[in-house]
Amino acid sequence: MNTTVGEREIRTQERVIAFFENTLDYTYLGNWEHSGEENSNIIPEDLTHWLRKQGYKNDISAKALDQLKRSAAIGGTRTLYEANREVYGLLRYGVNVQPSTGEHRTTVKLIDWEHPFNNDFGIAEEVTLKGKDGNKRPDVVLYINGIAIGVLELKRSTVSVSEGIRQNLTNQRQDFIERFFATVQLVMAGNETQGLHYSVIKTPEKHWLHWKETEAHPDAGDNLLLRELSIGVHPPNGRVRVSAPLHFDADAIRMAVVSRVAWIRRQQAAFEGQDRQSQREFVTGESHYFRGRRYRLDVIEHDGPPRVWLLNNTKIGLSVRPGADRDAREAVMQRWYRQSLRSELPSLLEKWEPKLGVSVNEVRIRKMKTLWGSCNVEAKRIWLNLELAKKPESCLVYVLVHEMVHLLEREHNDRFHELMNGFLPQWRTYRDTLNRAPLAHENWRY
C-alpha cells in the first residue's frame, strides 16, 4: 500500500518535471537524491558560466559569486529573513563589485531582467540536503543561472496541499535546512486536485495564496496543477497578462514571469506566425469575415440610410452616404455585426438553457480586448465579444455555453471541465477553431 502511495506522488512529480522540461523549456539538472556531493542553493559553476556568457571577466565573476555566498550565509545573530532580504537585493539590482583598488565599481547582474530570454532556467528533483536530524529532500527546485529561486513540494491528489505547505515551513526551521532557503524567492506547494499554492519564506500557512490562471497552456489539459503553473499570453502580439493579488508587489510578479519566460517566448512566436488582418479601411475589394467565411466588400455611395447586406456567397454590400469617411463606414459595419450576432442568441438560449438547467437574465455584446466572453454570476448576465460575429457559429456556441456553465461553477476547476465535457463534448475542438481563426487588427491594451 505504501509503495502505491509513493508511486502516485512519483507520477505527479514526473508530470510536473516533464511539463517544465518539455513545455516551459527548463533544463533538467537531474535527480539529486543520491548526489555524491552536498547540494546547494548556489551552483558556482553554472552561475560562473552564465556570467562569462554576459561578458564578465573571471575576477569580476569570482567577486560577485563570493558576495552572493556571503549574503546567503546564516549564522550567529544573522537570521534567514535577513539573508533572504539581502540576496533579494542582489538578484534584483545586481552585485556592486570593485575589480581592484582604485578602479571604478561595476554592477554585476545575476539575473537579466531586461532580457528575460537571456537567462538559463534549470529544474532539479529530490534535492537532498543534510539537516541536523537527517537528510531532507525538497521535491522540486527551480534554478535561474545556477541560483535556487523556487521550491515546490508536491502531494498526490488525495493528500491536502496543506501537508506540502507545512513541509515547506518545517524545512525552513533552523534545525532543518533553513540555509537552503536564503536564495529562494518563491515557495510553492500543490497537488492535481487543489492546484498550486505559493508564498515567500517564513509565511504562516493561513497566509499562503492560491495561484489562479484564467488561461493555461494547452499541454496542461485538465490537470489543475499544470494549468496553474502556466501563465496567460494573449493575441495579437503575445502580450503577457498575470493575475495576482493586490498586495503582491511588482518584483514578485516579475520573478514569476521570468520563471516561465521560455514558454512565453514560444507563445509569442506562435502569435507572430498566426494569420491576421491588416487594419481595415472599408473600401471596395477589401476582405471581411462573417460567420467564419471570407467576403469581399462592395462599397456603394447612396444618399439614403446606410446599410449592410450579403450580396451573394462571396460579397458583402456596404451602402453609405457620399463622402462617408473610414470611421463612419466602420461604424455601419459594426452595427450590422452587432445586429447579426444578437439575432443568433434567442435560438441558442432556447436550446441551451434547458440543457444546462440555468436561466440567463441578459446577454450583452461589446468589443473586448482580451476575452471572448465573461459572466456576472450574481446578475446572471453574460457579455460576448463583438468579434464573435466574424467567427464560425461553433465558436459562438462554445463561448456562450462556456459562460453559461459558469452559472453552475464559477471557477475553471475539475468540476467546470466535467460540466463542459458533459454538455459540449467537442468544446476543445471549437476552442481550437476559435484560436486558429485570423486575428483582427487591434491596438490591444490591458
- Pull the grid cell for residue 439: 486575428
Per-residue HEC secondary structure of 256-278 comes to HHHCCHHHHHHHHHHHHHCCECC
Confidence band for 156, pLDDT divided at 50, 70 and 90: confident
Amino acid 196: pLDDT: 86
Whole-prediction pTM: 0.55
Are residues 188 and 321 located together in one domain of the fold? no
Are residues 209 and 330 located together in one domain of the fold? no
What tens digit of pLDDT does each residue of 162-201 get? 999 999 999 999 889 999 999 999 999 988 888 888 899 9
Counted residue by residue, the chain has a size of 446
Confidence band for 414, pLDDT divided at 50, 70 and 90: confident
CATH number at 381 reads 3.30.2010.10
Are residues 262 and 367 located together in one domain of the fold? no
Burial of 26 (C-beta count, 10 Å sphere; 0-12/13-18/19+): buried
Range of the domain at 212: 2-272
Asked if residue 139 is part of any domain, the answer here is yes
Q: What is the mean pLDDT of the chain?
A: 84
Confidence band for 263, pLDDT divided at 50, 70 and 90: low
Examine the fold and report which residue of 272, 303, 322 is the final residue of a domain before the chain moves on. Answer: 272
Higher-confidence residue of 296 and 247: namely 296
Asked if residue 158 is part of any domain, the answer here is yes
- Pull the grid cell for residue 273: 506566425
Burial of 19 (C-beta count, 10 Å sphere; 0-12/13-18/19+): buried
Are residues 240 and 334 located together in one domain of the fold? no
Specify the range with the lowest mean pLDDT, choosing from 198-207, 354-363, 393-402. 198-207
For 227, the 3-state DSSP assignment is helix
Are residues 182 and 39 located together in one domain of the fold? yes
What tens digit of pLDDT does each residue of 16-55 get? 888 888 777 788 898 998 775 678 999 999 999 999 999 9
Asked if residue 441 is part of any domain, the answer here is no
Asked if residue 168 is part of any domain, the answer here is yes
Sign of the CA dihedral running 376, 377, 379, 385: positive
150: amino acid identity, one letter: G
Examine the fold and report which residue of 243, 272, 301 is the final residue of a domain before the chain moves on. Answer: 272
Are residues 311 and 174 located together in one domain of the fold? no
Are residues 115 and 217 located together in one domain of the fold? yes
Total count of domains within the chain: 2
Asked if residue 278 is part of any domain, the answer here is no
Asked if residue 324 is part of any domain, the answer here is yes
Amino acid 252: pLDDT: 58
- Pull the grid cell for residue 362: 441578459
For 113, the 3-state DSSP assignment is coil
Asked if residue 219 is part of any domain, the answer here is yes
Are residues 220 and 291 located together in one domain of the fold? no
Are residues 112 and 221 located together in one domain of the fold? yes
Are residues 225 and 345 located together in one domain of the fold? no
Are residues 193 and 326 located together in one domain of the fold? no
Say how far apart CA 304 and CA 284 lie, in whole Å: 19
Asked if residue 345 is part of any domain, the answer here is yes
Examine the fold and report which residue of 222, 242, 272 is the final residue of a domain before the chain moves on. Answer: 272
Are residues 248 and 393 located together in one domain of the fold? no
**Phi/psi of residue 14, nearest 5 degrees:** -60, -40
